[in-house]
Structure 1
Amino acid sequence: MKKHSLRVLAPDASLLSRRQFLGYTAGAILAMCMPGCVSSSERRLNIYNYSYYIAPDTVKNFIHETGISVVYDEFSSQDVLFAKLKLGAGYDLVVASDYMLRRLIRQQIIDTIDGFKYYSDMIDLVKKEPWSSLCRYCVPYLWGTTGIGYNRKYVKKAPTSWNDLWNEDYVGRVTMLDEKRDAIGAALIKLGYNGNSCDHKQLAAAQKELTHQKHILRQYTNDYIDGLARGEIWLAQAWSGDISRAKDANPNIDYILPKEGSFFFVDSWCIPKDAAHKREAVEFLNYVMQPEIIAKVTNFTSYPNTIATSMPYVSKELINKPLGYPSAEMMKRTFAQEDIGAEEKNWDKMWESIKFKN
């Protein structure tokens, strides 16, 4: 038996998060693993990605096609990713969201990428600034929007605003994302401010809003798909692709982009500067971003990808529903999360206070 190895580490194999889905477990991926250690002479690749943010057979097929051994680990949030990279965890390829990408570039944690073949095939969204400059350091992968998922069986009047996540009628049935940029950002937008604000008075007002909301919340979590589908959660700050999958499991699930506006995100592959297997990382990028391969990722995760030439292979059902591919009208109400520089520490302190203090 060959030694090519695939290892998946999840914070909790029972959890299904952003980049997660119903009915699929870490055990299903682990079943693809080959026993035995990877020899020092063998080509290998260490990948760090969001949980279940890839098709089930993508890595397995890459291993089979190239003979490169893969150690595949998963993280639950961008803060976890950043902490690991700062410690020098030895990853060769990671997935960073747009604001984190800028932070990693600013702190010189990631390297430029040479040899990627499919930049010319990418969608217009990532051919414009700031992405046309950022693409020196990344390969844009999947994208989507942040909004509100809800269960129509229990929420009789469809939400329209971020204010609906503060509705006292739903005490214990509301969740917010366990990502400071999404949760604090939503509170800022709710108050009429920029979702990337670094104004201390505006941030203090957002903190007050989130503190007031805590008695309504069930929890801060990125694991809400099952809860929505089962009726345990009625309203959730959510990512679009997750709600698409939840809706497949329960037709009562729906999604809105709040009228005040919200974020769109682009998650990108990056290569850390201390990566030991950069050639293998680029080889994986040139494999996974092939139009037919990346279309399978989109069909599985329900998140649109950045390769325009993949569209003939993407599920028509996904293309035709706003949860998969947002309309132009929806996109007009979205904006990107920006790198906030040194103010990140203030946001970190504020987030810790919101989550862990009464």
Structure 2
Amino acid sequence: MNIQSIDVSIEKLPLIKPFKTALRTANEIENVIVMLRLENGVVGMGAAAPTVAITGDSTEGIKEIIQSVITPQLLGKPITQLNQLSSIVQQSCVGNTSAKAAVEIAIYDTLCKYWNIPLYQFLGGKTNELMNDMTISIGEAEKMVTEAKQIVNNGFSIIKIKAGKDWKKDIERISAIREAVGNNVTLRVDANQGWSVKQSVEVIREWEKDRLNIELVEQPVRAHNITGLKEIKRNVQTPIMADESLFSPRDAMKLLSEQAVDYFNIKLMKTGGIRRALQIADMAEAAEIECMIGSMMESSVSVAAAVHLAIAHPNITNIDLDAPLWIKEEPFEGIIYEGNTIQVSGDSGLGVKRKR
């Protein structure tokens, strides 16, 4: 069964409150939605989230690349030729990983709907039942402490804390949060490339001295600074995770060969879709490096793809997929959030559909 058409639209989804990191402040999620139709009428869906500060992809750029470059190369191709379709998408242009991810997610969704199976089943079946975290964006210590307490009251036992704008204040903020929530709550810190190597070592050692028991520190230095990540890892006890340093299997190979980090954070908007995310997770598994799967500020469409991948791959041991919970009015349904757990509907493909 061949691909008949691919349509693209843009949706803006306001957030409940601003989301602040060391790289940007977001007040809304702007998603590019892809609808892929087969000749027999089966329709699959994908989505992309523009994050110029990380992937370099803008909303209009994603839309234009999909319409003008990727779509013409896919029309008329059999949906069952998955590896060929994925190769066409990845080789269609340089970069533009978010656009590629949106189209590839739609391909997987359509294929699984055509075969009438959930995506996780196609990817190997349920392997994991993972607990989700909730993120605290950067703010004043008092406000962050209040948010942390509320998150715990809402049933979450894992908190991800954004940092990286002021390393000295970061020490105080995380210390205050740990004191407020106690020792039974897992804390993760994401610096979003905001520190130097020297600052990273000093900050982390301070937390270690105070026995704050931080589970991991994510991307403390600039994405290109693999040597810096390795230096930090060598000088602290707290595990270090790569995020912005990891886009492709080639990046994974570099990080693994340098033994630069303890964990990988895989995001579909960086990998360009599901197939290369699987390759990275497989490579990491062979090297005994566990993976987290996360997202940008995305809607349920692309986050659902990440959930299916997470529950299917045995080396994805952690998730950071709270982005849809930040949306004021989520227009899609299919991901089921219950406290700190995530379930998928069991319907074919992503199991996601637009609310009526």
Normalising by structure 1, we get a TM-score of 0.27
Tell which has more relative contact order, 1 or 2 (C-alpha 8 A, sep 6+).
1
Q: Choose between structure 1 and 2: higher strand proportion.
A: 2
Normalising by structure 2, we get a TM-score of 0.27
